[in-house]
Amino acid sequence: NAGVMQNPRHLVRRRGQEARLRCSPVKGHSHVYWYRQLPEEGLKFMVYLQKENIIDESGMPKERFSAEFPKEGPSILRIQQVVRGDSAAYFCASSPKRAVEETQYFGPGTRLLVL
Amino acid sequence: AQTVTQSQPEMSVQEAETVTLSCTYDTSESDYYLFWYKQPPSRQMILVIRQEAYKQQNATENRFSVNFQKAAKSFSLKISDSQLGDAAMYFCAYRSLSGGSNYKLTFGKGTLLTVNP
């Protein structure tokens, strides 16, 4: 079984550009979570999505950041007008359902560097 | 809000020796999960071990075991017979089982483990 796939693995953007990060969950998983890891820090929760629904975006900055998980295709984390402070590793995780006993399986992450 | 503290930014161990990584957490809840994740140089996050708070028995996975002290809110990871492939950043994480946000993982800042040959 393929695990969580994220692409690109590395992304370089200049300030003001847009960054699009993609996450394909484990086949059959309908719950996706995005986390951000700043340098020298642990991962921090950003947003939780189910197919076509945003369940909790409390960890996501109010401006410039958006996320979606369409009925078909991968989940997308979009960062508009990137700034240097957005440089981080962005991890996606998935689970088959929300049930508390379910483990979240992580992808390899996308390293975003803003020049 | 829950917090997770890893007081050892870096640790080192000789190959084949045993090492213990510390983790403490703060919560007012009684039901939760605790995890240790490994992040090798590839940066992939790999689940090492999971402990349910309602279980008194400490979880074990091959060479990895935990010492879960619920009253002390302590959750240390012991790696026995350390191997070169164990070298990685190790993150302790907490997940509530109650309330509406029981899907969120709260991570510590990590402990960088070096294994010396």
Tens digits of per-residue pLDDT, A81-112? 999 999 999 999 998 876 556 788 899 999 99
CB pairs under 8 A between A and B: 55
Q: Provide the pLDDT for residue A2.
A: 67
Neighbours of A18 (CB within 10 A): 11
pLDDT of residue A102: 72
Count of H-run helices and E-run strands, chain A:
0, 11
Contact B53, B35 (CB under 8 A): no
User: For B65-93, what is the mean pLDDT?
Assistant: 96
Beta-carbon separation of A56 and B45 below 8 A: no
DSSP-assigned beta bridge partners for residue A5: A24
Amino acid at site A31: H
> What is the reported pLDDT for B42?
81
Q: Which residues of B touch A (CB under 8 A)?
A: 4, 33, 37, 42-47, 50, 91, 93, 95, 97, 101-110
Q: Which residues of chain A have pLDDT under 50?
A: 1
Percent share of chain B, pLDDT over 70: 99
State the smallest CA–CA distance between residue B60 and chain A in angstroms: 17
* Chain A residues within an 8 Å CB radius of B110: 42
Q: For B21-61, what is each residue's pLDDT tens digit?
A: 999 999 988 889 999 999 998 888 899 999 999 988 999 99
Report the pLDDT averaged over residues B78-90.
Answer: 97
Contacts of B105 in chain A (CB under 8 A): 33, 35, 43, 45, 104
* Tokens linked to B39: 């992040």
- Residue B30's pLDDT is 87
Predicted confidence at residue B33, as pLDDT, reads 93
Average pLDDT over residues B101-111: 89
The pLDDT of residue B114: 97
Other beta carbons within 10 angstroms of residue B57's beta carbon come to 8
Whether the CB of A90 is below 8 Å from some CB of chain B: the reply is no
DSSP 8-state symbol, B113: E
Whether the CB of A33 is below 8 Å from some CB of chain B: the reply is yes
- Overall average pLDDT of the B80-90 stretch: 96
Residue among A78, A46, A84 nearest A64 (CA): A78
Token pair 């200049």: residue: A14
Among the partner residues B4, B37, B105, nearest to A45 by beta-carbon distance: B105
Best A7, A37, A90 member to test B by mutation, with max B CBs in 10 Å, is A37
User: Could you tell me which residues come within 8 angstroms of residue A63 by beta carbon, excluding any fewer than 6 positions away?
Assistant: none
Single-letter residue type at B56: Q
Q: What is the pLDDT of residue B16?
A: 97
Mean pLDDT of B66-71: 96
Out of A86-90, A100-104, B4-8, B91-95, which region has the weakest mean confidence (pLDDT)? A100-104
B14-27 burial: b if 16+ Cβ within 10 Å, else e: eeeeebebbbbbeb
Whether the link from the prior residue into A8 is cis, omega within 30° of 0, is yes
Helix or strand (DSSP H, E) at A114:
strand A110-114
CA distance B20 to B80: 9
* A104 in B contact zone (CB under 8 Å): yes
What pLDDT was estimated at residue A103?
81
